[in-house]
Structure formats: structure tokens, C-alpha cells
Amino acid sequence: MNCFHALGGGPTGPRAIPGSRRALALIALALWPVLTCAQQAPPQTSSDADNKELAQALQESGSSAVDIVRILEAFLAKHPASVQRPQIERALARASVDLKDDRRIVLYGEPALKAAPDDMLLLDRVARAFLTMGGRENAEKSLQYSKLFEQAIRKAPAPEGREAGRKQDERDRGLARALVYEARAQGVLGKDGDAEKLAAEAFGIYPSEESAREWSDALVRQHREKDALPHLADAFAIPDAHSTDADRADDRRRLGELYRKLHHNEKGLGDVILEAYDRTSAELGERRKRLEAIDPNMTASEPMQFSLGGLDGKRLALSSLKGSVVILDFWATWCQPCRAQHPLYEQVKQRFKGRSDVVFLAIDTDDDHNLVAPFLKQLNWSAQSVYFEDGLQRLLQVTSIPTTVLFDKQGRVASRMNGFLPDKFVDQLSERIQSALSQ
């Protein structure tokens, strides 16, 4: 069996291609099995020889994404029937996305989507690229991929579990983006009524500058400038992190032109903008409440803004612990070092027993919360002060466990211990707690 036919497992870490740019990582990820096989075995077949040729060329290319794309294209030109073609086309498509090369996104994205029709990144970027390229034919192609993008999002299961609010926000933004693409394509095709409805739906799902502007444009094309004005004002007033200064400047210019067309001057335009600000702020506030109902920590940007769910379903607001030194022990049921650390951790707790200004919290990081209570019962560990991480792990960038994070009385991170040294853990953690208490 040649090495290519043995492919199937995912990479353990692409190292064949140097460089840290995202485009290079995408290429390495897609081609890692091929390159690994080429390095590990001498050529046995023409496919193996092709693998080795490709691996050597990529290794000699350095860290330039543009050069790597050029090498991959040259390889396909030389070996158009290569069995590696699907992987290379996918790598090229994703690299082209990173390089914002619309022509190549379309060129390699379409065949890549035949092999992976639910690749949402490529559906998104291919649909946008066709729109950017312009023309009726490209609009029809964009509409095709926009609808596929929409369908892929709608059929995906609703987010749940850890960081469900953030995932729902991303899902809504993606769905709204697909509808905006459809609206823009319908506008190019002369179907402004359909474009209006799609843009309105997009704005309802995820209020953004892009969807508000598209809604306004669809109305202007129908000569309904009076109806279009408030939506263009929304586009200008809404705080959209994904818009650029140039976008906002263009919105302001167009807003002035549209208002003058209706009123012959800009007197009163400020009131329209203030009304749009109040309106969009209220809409965003309602959206934030809906997301916080799914995930109370959705908008938390500081650890002390978090609330953590406990085994009994009650939530603990970390802000309520200000004034105390707080020790967070990040652990999981599957973590063997956590089991070894547990009795040492209990020794530290005994040293500060009776102090109301020292709080110990066991922060579970398991994906499946149902595992925790039986685990605690089986090992006879106390369930008191056990909470789920609920997104705090990502905010604190806890990438390995056990990890101990210590907050001072002002709620600031005072110390951090990644892993533990059994012989020194009790004394080290005790000293750090005492230091925080003395500050």
C-alpha cells in the first residue's frame, strides 16, 4: 500500500512548512498527511514520487504564502491528474481566503466545495467573492452559494453547553451575512422586492451596518427614499466592530445626500441620527438580553464579571467575592494529575480554615457536566464549592490542567500555577495566599 492510500487520521501538528501565518497553517493542515508520508518513506509509486517532489518544493519555499500558492499551482499544472488534487485545491482555496484573492477563492473554492459541500468558511467566502467580482452571471453564482451557506447554517444544531451564547452570536451573524449576500445578488438581478425582504430579515437576525445599508439600498432602488432614510441612519449609528472608518464615512456621505434630496438641506438630520442611535441601542440591548439568557457570561470581559453555575444549579457571582483572596482550582474528571493534587489542595485549605477572607473554588472543565457528581461521590470528594467554568477558562487562557489561579482582594490575578510540583505545592500555594492577604 502506498502512503497516500493509507491517509485517514488527522495531523498531530503540521511541521513540514515553516512560518506562522494563518495561510501557511491552513496549507500545512490540508497537506500534512501527504507531506508526512513523503518524508517518511522512499518513493514506491509515481504518486509517492509526486508527494516527495511537492514536500521538497514546499520546504524550500520559506514562509511566503504567495510563494507556496505559486508552488502548489505549478504542481497542479505539472500533475493535473494527481490523486492529491482535492487536498491541494482545498489548501489553495483556504489560503486564497486568507490572502483575500477573490479570483483564486472562486477558482479553487468551487471544486473544494464539491468535495466538502458544508464547509461554511468556503461557502461564505465563495459567495462574497462572486459578488465582489461583479456582473449578472457572478451574482447568480453568488446567490447559489449564499443559499447553500444559509441552508448549512440553518440545519446545524442550535448551540448549547459551554459558551452557547457566543456560539449563537456567531451563528446569527453568519446567517445574517448569508441573507445579505442573497439580498445583494437579488439586487444585481433586478429583484429589489426580494432584496428588501432578505435584507430586512438579515437585520432582524443580526443588526449590523452591512444589513442596514443593504436594506436601505434596496428601498432606494425602488424609489422609496423616505423609507430608506431611517435604515441608512441605522447603518451610520449602529456600533459595528466589523465596519471600517471608510464604511462609516461613506454612510455619512450618502446619508447627507439622501436627506438633502428629501429636505433640500441637512437641517434636522441630527435628530434622525439620534433617533437611529436610540432605536439601534434598544434593539442591541434586547438582543444582548436574549443571549445572556442562554449564557449569563456572554458579555463578561473581566473575571469578576463572571457568574459560575454550581452542581445544584445555583449561580455564584465572582464579584460577590471581592474583598477576599480567591483561589480557583481548574480540574477535570479525566485528569490524573488533578487526582494526585487533590489531597495536597485539601492540606492548603486546612491551613486557612476559618478565615472568611480566603475562598477556595473547584472549577470543573469537563464538557459533560453529568460526569461530575458521580465522580465526586465515587472518590468521596466534597461537592461543596464545585462550579463549572462556564467560559472563564477561555478568558483566563487556561490551556492545561491542573491550573491554579489566585485573585487578590481587589479581584485582580495575583498568582498563577500551571501544573504542580508535589513536593512543593502545599508550601508554594500557602505562601502565595499569605502574600495576597498581606497586600
pLDDT, residue 298, reads 84
What gap in Å lies between CA 206 and CA 190, rounded to an integer? 25
Q: Do 168 and 285 fall into the same domain?
A: yes
Q: What percent of the chain has pLDDT over 90?
A: 64
Of the residues 116, 137, 153, which one is the last residue of a structural domain? 116
pLDDT, residue 294, reads 87
Q: Do 277 and 324 fall into the same domain?
A: no
pLDDT, residue 19, reads 36
pLDDT, residue 188, reads 97
CB contact at 8 A, 87 and 111: no
What gap in Å lies between CA 329 and CA 390, rounded to an integer? 14
In the chain, the number of structural domains is 3
Among the listed ranges 5-19, 130-144, 167-181, 346-360, which one has the minimum average pLDDT value? 5-19
pLDDT, residue 59, reads 67
Q: Do 95 and 122 fall into the same domain?
A: no
pLDDT, residue 31, reads 53
Rg (CA), the chain: 28
**Closest by Cα among 182, 203, 53 to 127:** 182
Residue 302 lies in a domain: no
Please state, rounded to an integer, the average pLDDT across all residues of the chain.
Answer: 86
Residue 413 pairs in a beta bridge with 407
b/e map 322-336, b = 16+ CB within 10 Å: eebbbbbbbbbbebe
- How large is the average pLDDT for residues 174-180? 97
Among the listed ranges 16-20, 27-31, 35-39, which one has the minimum average pLDDT value? 16-20
Residue 300 lies in a domain: no
Statement: residue 15 has pLDDT above 50: no
Per-residue CA distances from 306 to 284, 316, 328 (Å): 21, 8, 13
pLDDT, residue 8, reads 29
pLDDT band at residue 177 using 50, 70 and 90 as cut-offs: very high
What gap in Å lies between CA 114 and CA 367, rounded to an integer? 33
Q: What is the DSSP letter of 318?
A: G
Report DSSP letters for 24-63, one per residue: HHHHHHHHHHHHHHHHHS---SHHHHHHHHHHHHHHTTTT
Q: Do 111 and 124 fall into the same domain?
A: no
Q: Do 140 and 211 fall into the same domain?
A: yes
Statement: residue 13 has pLDDT above 80: no
- How large is the average pLDDT for residues 265-286? 95
pLDDT, residue 40, reads 47
Report DSSP letters for 275-315, one per residue: HHHHHHHHHHHHHHHHHHHH-TTTT--SGGG-EEEBTTS-E
pLDDT band at residue 299 using 50, 70 and 90 as cut-offs: confident
Residue 170 lies in a domain: yes
Please identify which residue in the block is written with the cell numbers 457566543: 166
Of the residues 81, 116, 151, which one is the last residue of a structural domain? 116
Statement: residue 193 has pLDDT above 90: yes
Of the residues 294, 320, 355, which one is the last residue of a structural domain? 294
Which long-range contacts does 367-375 make (Cβ < 8 Å, 24+ apart)? 367/161, 367/162, 371/333, 372/311, 372/333, 373/311, 375/333
Q: Do 289 and 357 fall into the same domain?
A: no
Residue 158 lies in a domain: yes
Condensed to tens digits (0 to 9), the pLDDT of residues 50-100 reads 667 677 666 665 556 787 788 888 888 988 888 888 888 888 898 888 889
Condensed to tens digits (0 to 9), the pLDDT of residues 104-141 reads 999 999 999 998 899 999 999 999 999 999 999 999 99
- CATH code, domain with 361: 3.40.30.10
Q: Do 98 and 170 fall into the same domain?
A: no
Residue 304 lies in a domain: no
Please identify which residue in the block is written with the cell numbers 491550573: 403
Q: What are phi and psi of 224, to 5 degrees?
A: -115, 60
pLDDT, residue 111, reads 94
SS (H, E, C) 206-243: CCCHHHHHHHHHHHHHCCCHHHHHHHHHHHHHCCCCCC
Q: Do 122 and 111 fall into the same domain?
A: no
Condensed to tens digits (0 to 9), the pLDDT of residues 309-320 reads 999 888 999 999
SS (H, E, C) 358-426: EEEEEEECCCCHHHHHHHHHHHCCCCCCEEECCCHHHHCCCCCCCEEEEECCCCCEEEEEECCCCCCHH
Statement: residue 295 has pLDDT above 90: no
- How large is the average pLDDT for residues 320-341? 95
Residue 299 lies in a domain: no
Statement: residue 199 has pLDDT above 80: yes
- CATH code, domain with 270: 1.25.40.10
Statement: residue 239 has pLDDT above 50: yes
Q: Do 94 and 159 fall into the same domain?
A: no
Q: Do 33 and 155 fall into the same domain?
A: no
Grid cell of 107 as nine digits: 477558482
CB contact at 8 A, 428 and 417: yes
pLDDT, residue 79, reads 86
Statement: residue 359 has pLDDT above 60: yes
Residue 305 lies in a domain: no
Residue 325 lies in a domain: yes
Q: Do 334 and 406 fall into the same domain?
A: yes
Q: Do 1 and 93 fall into the same domain?
A: yes
- Its domain, for residue 17, covers 1-116
- Contact residues for 215 (Cβ-Cβ < 8 A; gap 6+): 183, 196, 199, 200, 202, 203, 228, 231
